[in-house]
């Protein structure tokens, strides 16, 4: 008998080809692949390549090609069944024995898949038939494209009717996780009634579970997930991995967030390399799953205390599994924000600014432990060092362990040496930056780029004086700076010996110039332009500022309408939407 396709696919998903081949062949990374001397021929120049993403090896000298099972059959001379059993053990999976029970499990899997597929179809139909739920989704900023990409649905006021599943018995429906038995009324009930539905797909785009957000009041939990079943394990799956895995050619980073809406908001903002952990702590299996496609997962949890505590626990647990050429980093959001709310309030540009402050796992652990240090007495320092060294002992890879021991010892020496280190600690630096960012609106931050363009192409303005005169900045400091620049252009006849920045600093503009340099998104590409390129940058930035101002007004109008449903607020909202549509047509 054949092993079930799903069983073999699960093994291949959990175990990398390079991990198996690396036990026999010395490998070196080359881009996204590994290379080594062929185990199938005697060669001096490596021609044997491994591609973990595609799950195969290829030997150019002998023509041998295959997957992890083929490798064990051909190199270790195992039969196929033994190869599968050996790899299943490595993947932490039970052995498939072709017993009556195993065959029954496979039949159950097929029915499970059928039930979830039917549920998905009806959840989507319910969504598109319900105008109120559609309006809720659109008001949350979800586009039609996003709704289709993520196949978002609606459970219905009372959930799905069991009559839609007439081909399945009660036990099968309960085991699917969609229904539970209401003992009081002796009937099956959809556990997701009156919820916005987020289908969860595996890496092969097969629906394996659901998440649901309550749309009414008096629910014990805003979000609930499918219960763990025989075929749905949260610790081995990640929301949106089916979409994110194709983004690894654009970036080695993948964002790891907590919630469905966090992942969807980042995806809609253009960060398509994002996955979510399905309401559970990030596990070793999650880490190996994302490492299959991305080298640098970036944990981006909520900015509140519980989110930061969760990130700290993850760092201390997962450092044990660090290995050469793979990493794990962390991004601290401002207090009170999750990725969804931060993107919706502050926009993509502000989030990109935060990315410069990501912290690798070593520094993250060091800084978190340093913050809990009560004093710099020798005993306290000793306890601090011991905890870091104990953490290093957990690391399984001996080479990585050696380098982390060295890393932490160097950091300890730098921290407690007599040299006065005035640098801001990474975590505090990040918190300071996020505090600054949230002081400004998205269009104010774009105004910083506009002023950066003026300051770095000031001589062009001598012949295009009107362009600076006609602009009004929303930020009062930038507007004051603009007026000074206009005055300089009016009064100074020659700029031969004139130092603009020195003049501005002498007139108390040092801080705003520092902010301009810190927050501008066009640094390095907009200095000393010719007239044509300057005009292109200028027109583009002005358009972006105006669009962001309109979007900000729209957000305010939507909030006003939600608080006071009257005709004036509704007409204002429609007018702003018309303006935004018109601006996109220009």
pLDDT digits (tens, 9 = 90+) for 491-500: 776 666 677 8
CB count, 10 Å around CB of 482? 20
CB count, 10 Å around CB of 580? 14
Topology of the domain comprising 100-232: DNA primase DNAg catalytic core, N-terminal domain (3.90.980)
- State the Cα–Cα distance between residues 475 and 480, nearest whole angstrom: 9
Tens of each residue's pLDDT in the chain, 586 residues: 678 888 888 888 888 899 899 888 999 988 778 999 999 988 888 999 999 888 899 999 888 999 999 999 998 888 888 899 899 988 888 887 777 777 788 888 899 999 999 999 999 999 999 999 999 999 888 999 999 999 999 999 889 999 999 999 999 999 999 999 988 888 999 999 899 999 999 877 899 999 999 998 777 788 999 999 888 988 889 999 999 988 877 778 899 999 999 999 999 999 999 999 987 889 998 999 899 888 899 999 887 778 888 899 999 999 999 999 899 999 988 877 889 988 988 888 888 888 888 899 999 999 989 888 877 788 888 999 999 999 999 999 999 999 999 999 999 988 887 654 444 455 565 555 565 656 666 677 788 888 888 888 877 777 766 777 778 888 888 889 888 888 888 777 666 667 788 888 888 888 888 888 887 777 766 677 888 888 888 888 888 777 777 777 776 666 665 556 566 766 776 776 777 666 554 4
Ramachandran sector of residue 382 (left: φ over 0; alpha: ψ -120 to 50; beta: rest): alpha
pLDDT at position 495: 64
Answer yes or no: CATH 3.30.565.10 is held by domain 242-436: no
pLDDT at position 219: 78
Q: Where are the alpha helices (DSSP H) in 236-377?
A: 241-244, 260-268, 284-291, 305-318, 339-355, 361-371
pTM above 0.75, yes or no: no
CA atoms within 13 A on the CB side of 541: 24
Cα 153–154–159 angle (5° rounding)?
A: 135
- State the Cα–Cα distance between residues 214 and 260, nearest whole angstrom: 13
pLDDT at position 192: 92
As a whole number of angstroms, the longest Cα–Cα distance in the chain is 94
- State the Cα–Cα distance between residues 426 and 369, nearest whole angstrom: 13
- State the Cα–Cα distance between residues 584 and 135, nearest whole angstrom: 22
pLDDT at position 421: 45
Give 145's DSSP letter. Answer: H
pLDDT at position 424: 44
Instruction: Give the DSSP H or E segment for 188.
Output: strand 187-190
- State the Cα–Cα distance between residues 352 and 431, nearest whole angstrom: 15
Do the domains 242-436 and 5-90 match in fold? no
164-178 as b/e, with b when 16 or more CB fall inside 10 Å? ebeebeeebbbbbbb
Topology of the domain comprising 5-90: DNA Primase; Chain A (3.90.580)
- State the Cα–Cα distance between residues 133 and 127, nearest whole angstrom: 7
* Beta partners for residue 574, in sequence order: none
Q: Where are the alpha helices (DSSP H) in 319-457?
A: 339-355, 361-371, 378-393, 398-416, 426-437, 442-455
Residue 297's contacts (CB-CB under 8 Å, 6 or more residues apart) are 253, 254, 256, 287, 290, 291, 327, 328, 329
DSSP per residue, 256-291: EESSHHHHHHHHHTT---EEE-TTS---HHHHHHHH
Q: What are phi and psi of 297, to 5 degrees?
A: -60, 140
- State the Cα–Cα distance between residues 322 and 284, nearest whole angstrom: 10
Q: Which long-range contacts (CB under 8 A, 24 or more apart) does 69-72 make?
A: 69/8, 71/17, 71/20, 71/21, 72/20
DSSP per residue, 63-80: --EE-HHHHHHHHS---H
464-to-317, 451, 483 alpha-carbon distances in Å: 59, 15, 15
CB-CB contact of 213 with 222 (8 Å): yes
Domain residue limits, the chain: 5-90, 100-232, 242-436, 442-585
């Amino acid at each position: 008998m054949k092993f079930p396709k799903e069983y073999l696919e699960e093994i291949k998903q959990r175990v990398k080809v390079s991990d198996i081949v690396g036990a026999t062949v010395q490998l070196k990374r080359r881009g996204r692949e590994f290379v080594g001397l062929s185990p199938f021929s005697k060669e001096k120049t490596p021609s044997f390549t491994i591609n973990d993403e595609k799950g195969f090896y290829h030997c150019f000298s002998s023509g041998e090609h295959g997957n992890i099972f083929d490798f064990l059959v051909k190199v270790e001379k195992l039969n196929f069944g033994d190869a599968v059993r050996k790899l299943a053990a490595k993947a932490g999976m039970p052995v498939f024995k072709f017993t009556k029970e195993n065959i029954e499990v496979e039949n159950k899997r097929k029915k499970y898949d059928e039930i979830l597929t039917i549920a998905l179809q009806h959840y989507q139909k319910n969504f598109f038939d319900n105008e109120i739920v559609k309006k809720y989704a659109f008001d949350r900023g979800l586009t039609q494209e996003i709704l289709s990409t993520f196949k978002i649905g609606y459970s219905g006021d009372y959930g799905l009717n069991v009559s839609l599943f007439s081909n399945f018995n009660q036990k099968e429906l309960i085991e699917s996780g969609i229904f539970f038995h209401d003992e009081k009324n002796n009937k099956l009930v959809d556990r997701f009634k009156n919820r916005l539905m987020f289908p969860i797909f595996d890496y092969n785009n097969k629906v394996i579970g659901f998440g649901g957000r309550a749309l009414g009041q008096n629910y014990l939990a805003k979000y609930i997930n499918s219960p763990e079943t025989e075929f749905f394990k949260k610790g081995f799956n990640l929301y949106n991995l089916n979409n994110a895995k194709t983004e690894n050619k654009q970036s080695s980073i993948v964002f790891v967030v907590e919630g469905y809406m966090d992942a969807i908001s980042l995806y809609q903002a253009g960060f398509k390399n994002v996955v979510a952990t399905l309401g559970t702590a990030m596990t070793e299996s999650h880490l190996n799953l994302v490492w299959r496609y991305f080298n640098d997962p970036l944990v981006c949890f909520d900015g509140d205390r519980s989110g930061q505590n969760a990130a700290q626990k993850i760092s201390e647990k997962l450092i044990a599994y660090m290995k050469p050429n793979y990493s794990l980093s962390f991004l601290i959001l401002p207090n009170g924000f999750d990725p969804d709310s931060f993107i919706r309030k502050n926009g993509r540009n502000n989030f990109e600014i935060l990315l410069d402050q990501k912290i690798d796992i070593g520094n993250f652990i060091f800084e978190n432990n340093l913050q809990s240090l009560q004093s710099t007495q020798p005993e306290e320092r000793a306890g601090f060092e011991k905890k870091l060294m104990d953490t290093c002992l957990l690391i399984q890879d001996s080479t990585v362990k050696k380098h982390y021991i060295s890393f932490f010892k160097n950091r300890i020496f730098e921290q407690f040496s007599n040299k006065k280190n005035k640098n801001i600690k990474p975590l505090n630096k990040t918190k300071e930056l996020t505090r600054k960012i949230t002081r400004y609106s998205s269009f104010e931050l774009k105004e910083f780029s506009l002023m950066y363009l003026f300051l770095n192409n000031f001589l062009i303005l001598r012949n295009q004086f009107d362009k600076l005169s006609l602009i009004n900045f929303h930020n009062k400091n930038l507007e004051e700076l603009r007026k000074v620049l206009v005055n300089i252009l009016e009064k100074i006849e020659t700029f031969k010996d004139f130092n603009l920045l020195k003049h501005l600093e002498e007139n108390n503009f040092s801080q705003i110039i520092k902010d301009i340099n810190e927050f501008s998104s066009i640094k390095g590409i907009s200095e000393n332009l010719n007239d044509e390129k300057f005009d292109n940058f200028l027109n583009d930035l002005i358009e972006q500022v105006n669009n962001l101002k309109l979007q900000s007004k729209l957000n305010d109008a939507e909030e006003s309408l939600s608080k006071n449903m009257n005709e004036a607020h509704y007409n204002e909202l429609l007018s702003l939407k018309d303006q935004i549509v018109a601006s996109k047509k220009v």
